[in-house]
Chains A and B, each alone.
Chain A
């Protein structure tokens, strides 16, 4: 009997050893990052950034940050902006990082009202950046902005000899029947922004009526940006069947072939909704000083200059130059739609519900 028990215990032990062995083998690379916010060799420690899954920072910039401040940057990215904010809310008693980037004006109020953030006014925030401030509480620091706009396939319209639409109202006209693809605001961030643009344009009383017209006019609803842009949009390499799609003002430069001088697609600048992305120090951060240092760094010239290339957004700082192709192919809309974040937060879920009732039925 003792032998039997011993041999069974051996199976269990084998299992443990196996997993232990493998963990030993893998533990090494991550230990340099100081996984649980512990001390990193020789420097001042680690700053843990919690961001969304579209965040990109080059190794060169991480190295520069370390050189300037002595902090090692470590990243977490649990999902899109909605997942990011909800995760911060759910873990606010024991935050998994020090600083966050990527909360935008459509979700900002949820983060602020849940007490996820600690106030910080960065000395690096210049007047050009301050224009984008959420409010006077200094909970969130603006870093970049971009616009969600209807994109148009120039070639399609010129081939058909139909003038391109200009305004939101045009999209509901019979001339543009079955031409537009949009994303579901319940599952997509640009979809939400476009819905907010229509609320802003047609008012709390009129926007649902506008969507009824769009529906009659054959609008195609997709779950996310990827299938709208790569499957349905005729201007992307997917060569879909619809020449109008909700995307970003910054998308057209990427459709310009190498060495090309004209853009095959463009953004309709009167259909845009302005999205501003913010950074903030997390309440309860283990390394608040490091968090502040990273926010200062994000407002610095080298990070700001890299934003268009890395994340397809405009820098809030006016002291850096955007790429030439952007000036040509991605002009900034002069008067995009926008909305008070507190109003968005209050009404977002209700509007999505109403949108669903109107459009999906």
Chain B
């Protein structure tokens, strides 16, 4: 198999509301090549988070396929896809300390405590939380929690990292700071990633390429410059604010 990265083709996901099944993602296709960070930008409710969860294997596909390096992922359960997912609110394990959270994925991969410790240290350093190993997660600030969540997602070196609005719960100053850090970390670790956000500045700061989603459809994909240059759908433009 060649290193083709992520291929999403014609994916449809539905949700049930008042007894009827409605499409949340209505036939979306795109690729992410290894080492690339793709931003999915769109207003809330456009289906971008659902699409992300579908890639992770957390949502059932009604139609279409998600494949990695050419291999269809349909038969691969969530925990064997080798992907990482970072939630908007971190979802840290409350009964484990910081190190316990970061090491979790390594533990699942079968690493012993001796191998885990240096890796945990290295990742905490990378996200700027050196020496936080023994802290209880309940005592962390919002920004610190998201840094731990990022370190936790990166620890098992996922072949694809999925980020679901990782910064939107934070205040503006912190968000800008963390967006820079995130971009740096992703590029330093050459992580392939899909980054979901409703904030275009954030998307432009972190992503190499940006896909714009609207009403369950991917209306356009391109670099920041391309998106700004090309004329696009009026409703999207209204949302993007230019």
| Chain A residues within an 8 Å CB radius of B80 | 3
| Complex Cα gap A3–B80 (Å) | 10
- How far is B75's CA from A3's CA once the two chains are assembled, in angstroms? 12
Residue of A nearest to B75 (CB): A1
Cβ < 8 Å to A, chain B residues 52-78: 75-77
Give complex CA distance A3, B76 in Å.
11
Residue of B nearest to A1 (CB): B77
Measured between C-beta atoms, what is the minimum distance from A290 to chain B in Å? Answer: 61
B106 to chain A, nearest CB (A): 18
Q: Which of A1-56 contact B (CB under 8 A)?
A: 1, 3-4
Contact with A along B77-118 (1 / 0, CB 8 A): 100100000000000000000000000000000000000000
Residues on A with beta carbons closer than 8 Å to the beta carbon of B77: 1, 4
A1 to B77 CA separation, bound complex (whole angstroms):
6
> Which residues does chain B contribute within 8 Å of A1, judged by CB atoms?
75-77
Q: State in angstroms the CA–CA spacing of A4 and B57 once bound together.
A: 14
Q: How far is the CB of B60 from chain A (nearest CB, A)?
A: 15
Q: How far is the CA of A4 from the CA of B76 in the complex (A)?
A: 11
B107 to chain A, nearest CB (A): 16
Count of CB-CB pairs between chains A and B under 8 Å: 5
A326 to B77, CA, bound (A): 80
List of B residues within 8 angstroms of A4 by Cβ? 77
Complex CA distance for A1 and B76, rounded to whole angstroms:
7
Residue numbers in A under 8 Å from B76 (CB-CB): 1
Nearest CB on B from A328, distance (A)? 72
Shortest beta-carbon distance from B77 to chain A in Å: 6
Within the complex, the shortest CB–CB distance from A7 to chain B, in Å, comes to 11
Closest partner residue, chain A, to B78 (CB atom): A4
CB under 8 Å from chain B, chain A span 135-183 = none
Instruction: Give the complex CA separation of A3 and B79 in angstroms.
Output: 11
Contacts of A3 in B (CB 8 A): 80
In the complex, A237→B124 CA distance in Å? Answer: 75
User: What CA separation (Å) do A1 and B81 show in the bound complex?
Assistant: 11
* Bound Cα distance A359, B75 (Å): 74
Q: How far is the CA of A4 from the CA of B75 in the complex (A)?
A: 12
A4 to B77, CA, bound (A): 8
Q: How far is the CB of A84 from chain B (nearest CB, A)?
A: 55
Q: What's the nearest-Cβ distance from chain A to residue B73, in Å? A: 12
For the complex, give the distance between the alpha carbons of A104 and B176 in Å: 91
B75: chain A residues at CB < 8 Å are 1
In the bound complex, what is the Cα–Cα distance between A1 and B78 (angstroms)? Answer: 10
Chain A nearest CB: distance from B97 CB in Å?
A: 26
Q: How far is the CA of A1 from the CA of B74 in the complex (A)?
A: 11
Complex Cα–Cα for A1 and B80 (A): 9
Q: How far is the CB of B78 from chain A (nearest CB, A)?
A: 10
Docked CA distance A138–B80 (Å): 77
A5 to chain B, nearest CB (A): 10
- Give the distance to chain B from A312, nearest Cβ to Cβ, in Å: 60
The complex places the Cα of A3 from the Cα of B77 at a distance, in Å, of: 10
Measured between alpha carbons, how far is A1 from B75 in the docked complex, in Å?
A: 7
What CA separation (Å) do A77 and B77 show in the bound complex?
55
Smallest CB separation, B98 vs chain A (Å): 28
Q: How far is the CA of A3 from the CA of B110 in the complex (A)?
A: 15
* C-alpha gap A240/B10 in the complex (Å): 84
A134 to B77, CA, bound (A): 75
Rounded to whole Å, the gap between the CB of A8 and the closest CB of chain B is 12
A56 to chain B, nearest CB (A): 55
Q: How close is B207's CB to chain A, nearest CB, in angstroms? A: 33
A115 CA / B1 CA spacing, docked (Å): 81
B215 to chain A, nearest CB (A): 34
CB distance from A4 to the nearest CB of B (A): 6
Q: For the complex formed, measure the closest distance between the CB of B222 and the CB atoms of chain A, giving whole angstroms.
A: 37
Distance between Cα atoms of A241 and B216 in the complex (Å): 81
Q: Which of A112-128 contact B (CB under 8 A)?
A: none
Measured between alpha carbons, how far is A154 from B75 in the docked complex, in Å? 87
CB distance from B91 to the nearest CB of A (A): 21
CB distance from A2 to the nearest CB of B (A): 10
Of B75, B76, B77, the most chain A CB neighbours within 10 A belong to: B77
- B82 CB to closest chain A CB (Å) equals 14
Cβ proximity bits A279-295 to B, threshold 8 Å, 1 near / 0 not: 00000000000000000
In the bound complex, how far is the Cα of B52 from the Cα of A188, in angstroms? Answer: 70
> Which 5 pairs across A and B sit closest by C-beta, in order of nearness?
A4-B77, A1-B77, A1-B75, A3-B80, A1-B76
Q: List 5 A-B contacts (CB under 8 A).
A: A1-B75, A1-B76, A1-B77, A3-B80, A4-B77
B residues contacting A by CB (< 8 A) are 75-77, 80
